[in-house]
Amino acid sequence: MSQSISLLFGVHAHQPVGNFAEVLVDAHLRCYKPFLQVLYRYPDFKFALHFSGWLLDFLFEHYPDDMTLLRDMVMRGQVELFGAGETEPVLAVIPNRDRIGQIETFSKKLEKKFGQRPRGAWLTERVWESTVVPALVDCGIHYVIVDDYHFICAGKSKAELNGFFATEEDGRTLDLFPISETLRYKLPFSPAHEAVAHIESLAEASASNKCIAAVYFDDIEKFGIWPETYQWVYEKGWLEHFIQGVLASPKISPRHFHDYHTSEKSRGVVYLPTTSYIEMNEWTLPAEPANAYADLVRQAKSAGWYEHNKSFLRGGIWKNFFSRYPESNWMHKRMLCLSARLAALPTEQHSDVMRQKLYAAQANDAYWHGLFGGLYLPHLRRAIYNNIVELEALLDTCVPRPAFYIEDTDLDGVEEAYLHNGILQTVVKLDGSASICEFDAYLLKHNFGDTLCRQTEHYFCKIQLDASEMSTHGSAGIASAHDRINFKHQINPSDLEVDIHPQNLFLDSLNGITLPYRLESHNDYRIRFQSMTDQWQIMKEFELSGNRLLVTYDLSGGLTGQLEIEINLAMPSCDGPGGRYISFGSTVLGGFGQFLNLADITEVIMEDSTLQGTLSFSTSTPIRLRTQPHFSVSQSEGGYEKIMQAVKLSLICPVAVRQLMIALEVK
């Protein structure tokens, strides 16, 4: 006689800090609201739920009726709430003090709003490192959920993964539930009756006399936001059919994680390797190794041995994103520096606003790139920098920094020179380019240097394939976002060309040849660089004066030809209608998404409605101005798309002028 199986069903709801309001509204209408409404009609279907803190605040503010519905479900014992870091950070990449602060902040929020303090926690992107155990346990978390893949990589077989296991670190013990990869791919993409039958089959196949569990915990966005899923899950009734099938089954008992955890015993001790879910491990790899990894996986699947040996075909780890993308690494190290500065303040100088800004700067989404990562999305990076710049200004009011200092912030072996006056800040890379890698306006809380360098991506090789060749789903269900190829924009070979240098400000070339510089002198107001040969010399100086950055070029010797200065700027409106070039005579010259070629220019205003400010430049002598948008090709669950990363200005001046002064003014 077959035994019953405990279905531990959970969903995770998250939107990145800084996401567009219209995206959140759409997600609520197509997913969060109908999901809660359907589940409310089935009080016997117990399930777990995690809303990230920022999203939860948004829903309480804009959709209080739905949150009242959720509170009722919690109070009647239908919903178990899961904790996490407040802003959905990857816990493994923030300091332990901030892990504790983030987890405690969110747990207290849940307790205040719903009367339930979480015993379980969601791990962002299921990124596991054993170093996170102490913080979780110290915050009252008893168990977390990770993929069954994590356990398989530790030598466990799938047959063993029908309960929870214990692990320990630094004297703290934490229990771990394995999420079924098979269920992750079946729900909600296969027909409801097939999903129910699969869960029943797990009970029938078990020879254990213990109460076994089927564990599902994945993104709620699969239930309405992914392509085709709204029609499939709600209009065609998949979710109701699945719930009805589970409740009607004599073999399946939907339970809470905490009930199962309280009534059952650990399956034993386990030590998991540092890893995340399978797809993430591929996304963390650079293009060439990722291609090799994908080829090995395809070969293994074709030969029929992949499933039994996939733990030995492991990709990279999440932290690889910092070594893959200098822009991600720079944000991360800037955040770590500010965390350390905040921690060093006397307690009486700490404020809730400071902590909120730090935690928002630790939100995971803008630090990585993959099918769901947001590094390629300028508005998500901008949200990180909004908080970094604002927090830095707050800290400077408590403990002022020197007006000039040099350090290797991003640990790349190349130092950076910081020059700031409380209104603006320039960070100059001392790599020989004498270019600015960060340009902050404190009143606007914006980094104009927040650009992205195009590099080769693993998915470039898929872009040329026909979508019909890539779709692997059958006619009975719908395809997962992992199995789709779709094009949101037309992509040409030129769009895939990589950048040969970072997209910084004030990258100089003489007659098409990049100029090398060395640091010549500095003080609290200016930095001076020199480029020279036996025949000529160019002196380049950066100076901050109020809300203006002044850049001066002094040329001497036997110079001929022209000097070209490339300035890459992060303008929030990108190629939308809110960004445009305006002459000082109020003539609209064009939008940020346009190619312009203008002669005899001395002044241009860059107006940006999203920024709610302007950046203007003026030159001491007429120059030729060329502008163009700078795009990258990204992937998302919606398909491949071109995203504007920067406004690229080229200022071209004949060397005969001997001196060129450029002023960037922020208002």
First to last CA, the chain: 76
What is d(CA 37, CA 366) in angstroms, rounded to the nearest whole number? 31
What Rg value do the Cα atoms of the chain yield, rounded? 27
Please list, in sequence order, all residues whose beta carbon lies within 8 angstroms of the beta carbon of residue 534, skipping any fewer than 6 positions away. Answer: none
At CA 91, angle to CA 110 and CA 146, rounded to 5?
80
Query: Residue 600: helix, strand or coil by DSSP?
Result: strand
What is d(CA 470, CA 459) in angstroms, rounded to the nearest whole number? 12
Dihedrals φ, ψ of 341, to 5°? -65, -40
Strands (E) located in 399-455: 404-407, 416-420, 424-429, 435-441, 446-447
| 219: annotated active-site residue | yes
Q: Which helix (H) or strand (E) holds 165?
A: strand 165-169
Distance of CA 232 to the CA centre of its chain: 28
Q: Which helix (H) or strand (E) holds 551?
A: strand 548-557
Q: Residue 656's CB: how many other CB atoms inside 10 A?
A: 11
What is d(CA 146, CA 55) in angstroms, rounded to the nearest whole number? 22
What is d(CA 657, CA 563) in angstroms, rounded to the nearest whole number? 10
DSSP code per residue over 302-357: HHT-HHHHGGGS----TTHHHHH-HHHHHHHHHHHHHHHHHHHS-GGG--HHHHHH
| 288: annotated active-site residue | no
Q: Residue 33's CB: how many other CB atoms inside 10 A?
A: 17
What is d(CA 484, CA 471) in angstroms, rounded to the nearest whole number? 6
What token pair was written down for 577?
């209608």
Residue that is written with structure tokens 């240097």 in the block: 449
Q: Give the torsion sign (CA, 590, 596, 601, 602).
A: positive
What is d(CA 354, CA 645) in angstroms, rounded to the nearest whole number? 29
The residue from 111, 219, 240, 264 that is catalytic is 219
The residue from 66, 86, 88, 125 that is catalytic is 125
Largest Cα span, the chain: 95
What is d(CA 130, CA 133) in angstroms, rounded to the nearest whole number? 6
Beta bridge partners of 626: 597, 650
What token pair was written down for 269?
């001790």
What is d(CA 349, CA 354) in angstroms, rounded to the nearest whole number? 10
523: left (phi over 0), alpha (psi -120 to 50) or beta: beta
What token pair was written down for 21?
């309001």
Residue that is written with structure tokens 């893949």 in the block: 149
Please, what's the b/e burial string for 372-381 (b: 16 or more CB within 10 A of its CB; e: otherwise)? Answer: bbbbbbbbbb
Query: Residue 215: helix, strand or coil by DSSP?
Result: strand
Paired sense of beta strands 424-429 and 536-545, if any: unpaired
Q: Which residues are catalytic?
A: 125, 219
